[in-house]
């Protein structure tokens, strides 16, 4: 019968008095938001407006709102786009047939 040793711990045991290193002990690095604020303060007003518009775009993009269907107007009003692929196949077929008829009726140069 084989005797198995217990698995080794990946992290050292904590004992009283031994405190695991925290970020406060390490050299603190500013977060991305703090860096962004600092850079924003250094930009001219024109650029801040551009950054604001871009940030609003990113927030909109992250929201992932479902797209609403668009109502078609003008020449597209009342058009049903349910069988678009079949309609395109029919139009292509008719166009090719018409082209073949035109070519058959045309006189070929000698």
Q: Is 22 exposed, middle or buried (0-12, 13-18, 19+ CB in 10 A)?
A: exposed
The model's pTM is: 0.31
Distances, alpha carbon 75 to alpha carbons 36, 72, 79, 86, in Å: 48, 8, 8, 20
Q: CB of 29 within 8 A of CB of 21?
A: no
Q: What is the pLDDT of residues 6-64, one digit of tens each?
A: 555 555 555 555 555 555 544 556 688 888 888 888 988 888 889 999 999 988 888 87
Locate the domains of the chain by residue range: 32-63
Q: What is the rounded end-to-end Cα distance, in angstroms, of the chain? A: 99
Q: CB of 98 within 8 A of CB of 90?
A: no
């Amino acid at each position: 019968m084989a005797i198995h040793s217990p698995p080794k711990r990946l992290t050292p045991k904590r004992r009283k008095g031994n405190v695991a290193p925290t970020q406060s002990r390490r050299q603190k690095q500013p977060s991305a938001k703090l860096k962004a604020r600092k850079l924003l303060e250094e930009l001219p007003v024109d650029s801040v407006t551009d950054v604001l518009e871009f940030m609003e775009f990113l927030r909109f993009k992250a929201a992932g709102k479902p797209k609403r269907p668009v109502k078609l107007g003008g020449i597209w009003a009342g058009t049903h786009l349910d069988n678009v692929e079949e309609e395109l196949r029919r139009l292509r077929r008719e166009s090719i047939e018409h082209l073949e008829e035109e070519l058959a009726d045309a006189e070929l140069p000698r």
